[in-house]
Amino acid sequence: MALRELPFRTAATLFKDARPAIRAAQPTSCRHASTEPIKEVEDASSFSIPPPSEELAKSFDPIERSKLRRRGKEPLPPSRFQYRPPKYYRGPLHPHQPPPVSDPASRLFVPGPFSLPRLEQTYQSTIASDLLTLTYQHYPPGYRAPKAPQRLREWVGDHPYFKNRPLRPPRGKGDVLRLITPPRTFRNIPKITRVTVHSMVPEAQENSAYLHIAGMVVQAITNVRATPHKARENVVAWGLREGKWVSVTSDLEREDAHHFLSKLIDVVLPKIKEWKGVPASTGDGSGNMSLGLTSDHVALFPEIEVNYDSYPPKMIPGCYITIHTDATNDKDAFLLLQSIGIPFYGKRK
């Protein structure tokens, strides 16, 4: 195609150099679409109009206005003015589509954020840049990283089904594919992505009150609705029976996670007596770390302390707190959690 157009294109290229001379003859002040015509259409901007006077603003009462408007009239039924989104999603071709989740009219709308957490601000202003400095790895200019060996196995054979098939995982049971840690840049500084609070109460199999109270406690300390879970299988050692409700979790993200962590680090952990800290051997190898709290520790949360008497005695559960980070190994996650103030003890794995 390019070859077919060649004569014309060649000519255009040759004459390209002649064009600037013609362009220079044009007037220097260029006319943008946004400047001139808008003045022709409208000479006054709405921003130049002064705000309403003090008296007018003081006397403005929206409730009174709406009452005045409705006086002497039959009130409209809510169906006439209140928009209710459909209860079920009936597919993209249905004429009645639900509004986006960010719309307050949506049934799935969750308000927030309500604040800018202190921990997040500290992370942005102090921790992130320190982590980048601490984990910086220098490569001289011109350095090319050695090629990483292929960790997955190829499908060898003539079978047509092997073409373009995803590679096979490594052989054997114990060989786990660890996450690859990319070179550290300012774009991939590890940060906290979410926090999971998990509380298992096997006593709930006999007496469901335990589960309700665990749910109340987890909900109170996390500010997120707790989700109950069933036991997946029988475990005799733990007294678990399959299909029974035994635990509650709640998943915290963004603002909730930051508030929860700062509450944990600044209020709860310092109050624990004779506590060595979080064992440094924690971590799942891919940047997520957990710590456990006993029921005595959970009772130290300010939300529980404020009405401790409302909870039945000895039914406040302990819980596990898993902090998920987007670090790809435990070393980086350890550094991040240390820098936000979680005390560790002992040796790392």
Residue selected from 50, 72, 95, 146 as contacting other proteins according to rule CB under 8 A: 146
- Give the count of residues interacting with other proteins (CB under 8 A): 49
Contacts of other proteins in 272-311 (CB under 8 A): 306-307, 310
**Residue 136 interacts with other proteins (CB under 8 A)?**
yes
| One-letter-per-residue 3-state SS of 80-118 | HHCCCCCCCCCCCCCCCCCCCCCCCCCCCCCCCCCCCCH
Nearest residue (CB) to other proteins, 54 versus 274: 54
Chain centroid to CA 67: 43
Report which DSSP code applies to 158: S
Closer to other proteins by Cβ: residue 246 or 261: 261
Give Cβ neighbours of residue 186 (< 8 Å, ≥ 6 apart).
132
Tell me: does residue 134 bind other proteins (CB under 8 A): yes
Would you say 85 and 98 are in contact if contact means Cβ atoms under 8 Å apart?
yes
Q: Is 115 in the site for other proteins (CB under 8 A)?
A: yes
Angular region, 137: left φ>0, alpha ψ -120 to 50, beta rest: beta
With binding defined as CB under 8 A, does residue 88 bind other proteins?
Answer: no
- Cβ–Cβ < 8 Å for 153, 146: no
H/E/C letters for each residue in 271-284?
HCCCCCCEECCCCC
Stretch that binds other proteins, among 112-120, 159-167, 175-183, 232-240 (CB under 8 A): 112-120
Residue nearer to other proteins on the CB measure, 66 or 97: 66
One of 38, 86, 94, 130 touching other proteins (CB under 8 A): 130
Is the torsion defined by CA of 80, 82, 86, 87 positive or negative? negative
Q: Which stretch binds other proteins (CB under 8 A): 8-16, 39-47, 92-100, 202-210?
A: 8-16
Question: CB 230 → other proteins: shortest distance, Å?
Answer: 25
- DSSP lists the bridge partners of residue 322 as 196, 290
Q: In the complex, what is the shortest distance from the CB of residue 228 to other proteins, in angstroms, rounded to a whole number?
A: 18
Residues of the shown chain interacting with other proteins in the complex, contacts defined by CB under 8 A: 1-3, 5-6, 9-10, 12-13, 16, 51-52, 54, 57, 60, 62-63, 104, 109-116, 118, 121-122, 124-126, 129-130, 133-136, 138, 140-146, 306-307, 310
